[in-house]
Amino acid sequence: MIKSKAMTRRKFATTSVAAPAVLSAASTVAKKARKGNLKQSVCRWCYKNIPLEDLAREAARMGLSGIDLLTPDEWPVVRKYGLTPTMASGVSTIPNGINRLENHELIGGQLREMYRKAKAAGVPNIIIFSGNRKGMSDAEGMDNCVTFLDRMKAEAEDLGINVCMELLNSKVDHADYMCDNSKWGVEMCKRVNSPRVKLLYDIYHMQIMEGDVIHTIRENRQYYAHFHTGGVPGRNEIDTTQELYYPAIVKGILETGFQGYFAHEFIPKRAPLASLEEATTLCDL
């Protein structure tokens, strides 16, 4: 009980000191008006050469809703500008995920800790990875993923947090990754059968692996909690230099009634912030 009171006091002290700063930073940024039908975000790692404080300020100005793939120590920076940390990272890694039983204890501990932090900070999603095959069959890997998620889903449901396994391509960027197609990911979600265990549908990755983007999104709408963007080929700007027509994709997503976040994850070849603002405008339908 003493420890609980001490933590409460520290939280109160931090909150009461930080609140004016949060209001001040958010109120001094002139935000661009957006239609707001799609809550857009941006992945931090694509702008790693820009200080997070600067990226957050510019994202707020552009009318973005949040910043994606942040660790807990970064969340207060984006909150200061009225943005949401839209996807928490730090649980499992791309090659070493939940498809192996020997990883479950470690990753389970990471996820439980992230649940606690995400709930306290109002972070809606946590990213997780299947891991690479390393000679394992897809059937065995799915069984192991389902075992892990069955054990972890109740807490996610109680806290109202989405656990999102990302769909990644294994042709170009992530050789041997197991959750590399929608069919496998959707079947995993069906077996777990939880409203809080979902997929992160990366449009760039799935265009490479399977195409048929709009139809796939419509058919599996209930299993996709989050989206990432990127131009194909190259993972650069989502403009006319690549093969995907993002306005049509966004229209298809909106028609499903999607209420989650849509995060830009392209690597800009031109002026980074100008490219981000162009993409934000392109997808603001």
Gap between the Cα atoms of 147 and 76, Å rounded: 34
Gap between the Cα atoms of 71 and 126, Å rounded: 10
Query: Is 230 in a helix, a strand, or coil?
Result: coil
Burial class (CB in 10 A: 0-12, 13-18, 19+), 20: exposed
Gap between the Cα atoms of 244 and 213, Å rounded: 9
Gap between the Cα atoms of 98 and 142, Å rounded: 9
> Which token pair is 82?
């009225």
Mean pLDDT by 10 residues, the chain (285 residues): 37 42 64 95 98 98 99 98 98 98 99 99 99 99 99 99 99 99 99 99 99 98 99 98 98 99 99 99 98
pLDDT at 30: 87
pLDDT at 11: 41
Instruction: Calculate the CA 197 to chain-centre distance.
Output: 13
Q: Which domains does the chain have, with CATH numbers?
A: 32-282 (3.20.20.150)
pLDDT at 13: 37
